[in-house]
Structure 1
Amino acid sequence: MPIDQRAPPPRRADTQGAAQRPGIDGRLVRTGVSDRTVVARWPRASVSFRNREPIHLSASCRHRRTSRPLPLGRRPQFAHSRQFKLNLHADLRQRAVVLPDDTGWVASPSVGIERRMLDRNGKEQGRATSVVRYAAGSAFPPHDHPGGEEILVLEGVFSDERGNYTAGTYIRNPVGSRHGPYSDLGCTLFVKLCQFDPEDSQRVVIDTEQAGWHPGLVPGLSVLPLHSFGTEHVALVRWAPGTQFKRHCHWGGEEILVLEGTFQDEHGSYPAGSWLRSPHQSEHTPFSDEGCLIFVKTGHLARESLSP
């Protein structure tokens, strides 16, 4: 979904000799690969990034960010995880849609941490997209991220040794980074593992409550840019009720997580918690009758899409 975020041009990788195409910001970018789309949903939960009040979340999880990490005071406990598919929506050439009630929670190797698998290709540290739920007081042991980690905090407060991250915080831990994550009060996260360009080494932490929004390409769209590198562009996009966008092609794919309201296109309606992935060069005509807030990634499936 090309969107005019009216921000400075994003940093780009060296793609000399590649063709040009419209990016998420509506400007021409050079590229030599194609696009895909993904959307994910978690059951009966949505997040208001406007006021940071999680919807359908107990009051104990609504709190402010502190300047220092909360004391850990625990050792991670491990459990035998239930069996789950190691290959789930693994073919990036196929469109994938997961609605809130389509998948159940699966126990992780750490007690108190569960996941809803959206796509997966490999074992515990393989490429994966999941919604992850931390019970209060749960933790993972310190571990490395050989392919990088991308996080959007949906509810509660997520923590590691570098700080505490409230609902609406966007985090990128680059390839080779290491941390010991935990949550004292509980949280829910959208997590993508092992999907970074190896040259994208920037750590990113954005408090979307404080970040600036920009007008989109059509009336009714507002865009909050989160990250750009090479062909990949990430943003939050708010649709006012009744907003329609023109039909367009996804170069390098598109992935969407619906955070509030209902997102729609000619293929169906996707309420809060829905996850969609559209492959390279797929097309659609999106709109929203009631309005919505979505997390959008474009162009990030290009390398995997075109690899043999």
Structure 2
Amino acid sequence: MTVIAPLKLHADLDLRACVDAFALPWTPSPAAGVERRLIERDGAEAARATSLVRYAPDSRFPSHTHPRGEEILVLEGTFGDEFGDYPPGTYLRNPPGSSHAPRTDEGCTIFVKLRHMHPLESERVVVDTAERPWCASAVRGLEIMPLGGFRGERAALVRLASGTRVPLRRHAGGCELLVLGGALRDDDGTYPAGTWLRLPRGSRQSVSSDKGCTVFVKAGHLR
């Protein structure tokens, strides 16, 4: 069994971080057939963490509890647990204190965040983003799909049409982005699919996309 030793990886939430998550090496987890790309981590096996997790076909992870919650976005394949099966695009919020036994039959890849939720959050959320409609915003070419949130923290999918420019805004509680498709751009660079970007509290950012992009956004959780 492989267990991660205490690790600090992009652990300072007051610092900007940018990672090409799709280029990271896969590392073994404690469960056979389950591998991880470690994006952000502060701790050992029980850690505040952001990762890509890949399950081989017919693999399982033992039942476990999430003391500070867990968020999942299914990127490929079908993820499952004792509560159901979740196709690509499914977003899950498992609140603090919840437990489950992850599994997959066909194999899957998921984006996972651990221990980033408010300790008083109690509602489990499951969103099939393939079925939920997009909402227009005040910015032409920018659409938003709210996914969940609690006490100022919120998660959403954001879609920019080709040529869209979003004016400068301040992220009072910090912001985190995972580019899912296309490419996003700001004053500091261009971020293709697979880029994970963290902007600390008080950051200011104006974004655009020449050819369009879809981004997972989590904001307000770095207070």
> TM exceeds 0.5?
yes
Aligned residue number for residue 274 of structure 1: 195
Q: Is the 8 A contact 2:60 2:103 kept in 1?
A: yes
Structure 2 residue matching 1:94: 3-state secondary structure: coil
Task: Letter of the 1:212 partner, please give it.
Answer: P
The 5 A counterparts of 1:1-308 are: 79-81=1-3, 86-100=7-21, 102-302=23-223
Task: Letter of the 1:279 partner, please give it.
Answer: P
Structure 1 residue matching 2:2: 3-state secondary structure: coil
Instruction: Return the offset for 1:85.
Output: 6.4
Instruction: Return the offset for 1:109.
Output: 0.6
Structure 1 residue matching 2:167: 3-state secondary structure: coil
Percent identical among aligned pairs is 52
Partners of 2:5 and 2:179 lie apart in 1 by 24
Structure 2 residue matching 1:92: 3-state secondary structure: coil
Q: Deviations over 1:89-136 (max 9, x none)?
A: 000000000014552111101111111111100111210000000010
Partners of 1:195 and 1:176 lie apart in 2 by 13
Instruction: Return the offset for 1:217.
Output: 2.3
Gaps of at least 5 residues in structure 2 are: none
Task: Letter of the 2:99 partner, please give it.
Answer: R
Structure 2 residue matching 1:286: 3-state secondary structure: strand
If you compute each CA radius of gyration, which structure gives the higher value, 1 or 2?
1
Q: Is the 8 A contact 2:6 2:44 kept in 1?
A: no
Runs of 4+ in structure 1 off by over 4 angstroms are none
Task: Letter of the 1:127 partner, please give it.
Answer: R
**Per residue, is there more strand in 1 or in 2?**
2
Instruction: Return the offset for 1:228.
Output: 2.3
Q: Is the 8 A contact 1:84 1:106 kept in 2?
A: no
Structure 2 residue matching 1:130: 3-state secondary structure: strand
Instruction: Return the offset for 1:175.
Output: 0.6
Partners of 2:2 and 2:124 lie apart in 1 by 32
Matched positions, count: 223
Structure 2 residue matching 1:261: 3-state secondary structure: strand
Q: Deviations over 1:40-66 (max 9, x none)?
A: xxxxxxxxxxxxxxxxxxxxxxxxxxx
Structure 1 residue matching 2:53: 3-state secondary structure: strand
Partners of 1:105 and 1:295 lie apart in 2 by 22
Partners of 1:275 and 1:129 lie apart in 2 by 10
With structure 2 as the length reference, what TM-score do the two structures score? 0.97
Q: Deviations over 1:205-254 (max 9, x none)?
A: 01111112110120001111111211101110110000001111111100
Q: Is the 8 A contact 1:125 1:194 kept in 2?
A: no
Q: Is the 8 A contact 1:157 1:166 kept in 2?
A: yes
Gaps of at least 5 residues in structure 1 are: 1-78, 303-308
Instruction: Return the offset for 1:284.
Output: 1.7
With structure 1 as the length reference, what TM-score do the two structures score? 0.71
Task: Letter of the 2:28 partner, please give it.
Answer: A
* Greater relative contact order structure (CA < 8 Å, 6+ sep): 1
Over aligned residues, Cα RMSD in angstroms? 1.2
Instruction: Return the offset for 1:156.
Output: 0.2
